[in-house]
Copies of this chain bind each other. A is one copy, B any other.
Amino acid sequence: MGKKGELVSFRPDIKVLDATIRDGGLVNNFYFEDSFIRSLYETNLKAGVDYMEFGYRASKTLFDPDKFGKWKFCDENSIRDIVGENDTDMKISVMADVGRTDFKTDIIDRKDSVVDMYRIATYLNTIPSAIEMIEYCNKKGYETTVNIMAISNANGSDLDTALDILGRSCVDCIYIVDSYGSLYPEQTAALAEKYLEIGDKYGKQIGIHAHNNQQLAFANTIEALSLGVNYLDATVSGMGRGAGNCYMELLLGFLKNPKYNLTPLLEFIEDNVQKLRDSGAVWGYDVPYLLTGRLNQHPRAAIEFIKEHKTGYANMYLELLENNI
């Protein structure tokens, strides 16, 4: 499969999705000021972003609403308070985790909702449950994506089987998710080609959601893009769990479609990002994340290391190496 498009060209099929609230919410337990969310919404509109993800539709049975900000639950009214009827070209998405969403009660008909798309997050071994949620959301009238997490750990033939099942489902888009930030561009390219083959065969869009453990989130995103992947996740200044995500400002700087506009985003960053960091939100590349990424492990050890101000990178590395034996 060859390169799709040249650096100087633009591809109208590209969709940029801002996942700042959703992945960034994992950093601050979804406690964002309303003014922040409103300003981000206005910024995304001006910047030409195609989808803005407002957070999770988490189960209030499993998660205590008093212990999280409202964007973990994304009530219809919370979103409407920001966007009204969202009478714009930008679509609204919400993520729903397999096993952590009361979808049959909490996901209403699209005609009564301001949400346009549900993104179903799943691991490989929960694909059957993901399919059930995809079909449910599809019948309710929503666009859907399936985001297969921790893909760098997947066994090749299991993945092939899963992709074929998803290809035959009604899902609109299948996402490559490098949850551990462990993929190198060469590996991302190989995965992208595998996903794109299924996409071509069954008429599905393909997306990518990258993490920055090895400072490769942007590089992996544009590598996948160059091969034909067209749903691209990014967050403002990479805000997201652990090492964070692909920086929206890098991505919009790269894309050639004149609909994308970097300037409003620059203003938003200047007004908000340092303030967020000063308020205690910690994310972005750091040595411990490099180590979990390099060893293809969940970032939890790195998050703990940084949160607790531990010392001893070398020891941590040794412990991680022992996990891999």
Contacts and interface: CB of A to CB of B under 8 A. Distances in A.
A290 B214 contact: no
B215 A218 contact: yes
Contacts of A290: 249-250, 253
A314 B249 contact: no
Nearest to A266: B313
Given A215-B215, A219-B215, A266-B313, A7 B254 contact: no
A226 interface: yes
Contacts of A317: 262-263, 266
A187 B219 CA distance: 12
Interface in A207-255: 212, 214-219, 222-223, 226, 247, 249-250, 253-254
Given A266-B313, A267-B313, A270-B287, 20 more contacts: A7-B186, A7-B187, A185-B223, A212-B215, A214-B218, A214-B250, A214-B253, A215-B215, A215-B217, A215-B219, A216-B219, A249-B287, A250-B290, A253-B294, A254-B294, A263-B314, A263-B318, A266-B317, A269-B287, A270-B311
A128 B269 CA distance: 45
Interface residues of A, number: 37
8 shortest interchain CB distances as A-B pairs: A219-B219, A266-B313, A253-B294, A266-B314, A263-B314, A270-B313, A267-B314, A215-B218
Interface of A: 3, 7, 184-187, 212, 214-219, 222-223, 226, 247, 249-250, 253-254, 262-263, 266-267, 269-270, 287, 290-291, 294, 311-314, 317-318
A3 B290 CA distance: 25
A226 to B, nearest CB: 6
A5 to B, nearest CB: 10
Contacts of A314: 263, 266-267, 270
Contacts of A318: 263
A184 B254 contact: yes
Contact of A222 (B184, B249, B263, B266): B184
A313 B263 CA distance: 8
A82 to B, nearest CB: 23
Contacts of A253: 214, 290-291, 294
B219 A250 contact: no
Given A214-B250, A253-B294, A222 B185 contact: yes
25 contacts: A3-B186, A184-B222, A184-B254, A185-B185, A185-B223, A186-B222, A214-B250, A214-B253, A214-B254, A215-B215, A215-B218, A215-B219, A215-B247, A216-B218, A249-B287, A263-B314, A263-B318, A266-B287, A266-B313, A266-B314, A267-B313, A269-B287, A270-B287, A270-B311, A270-B312
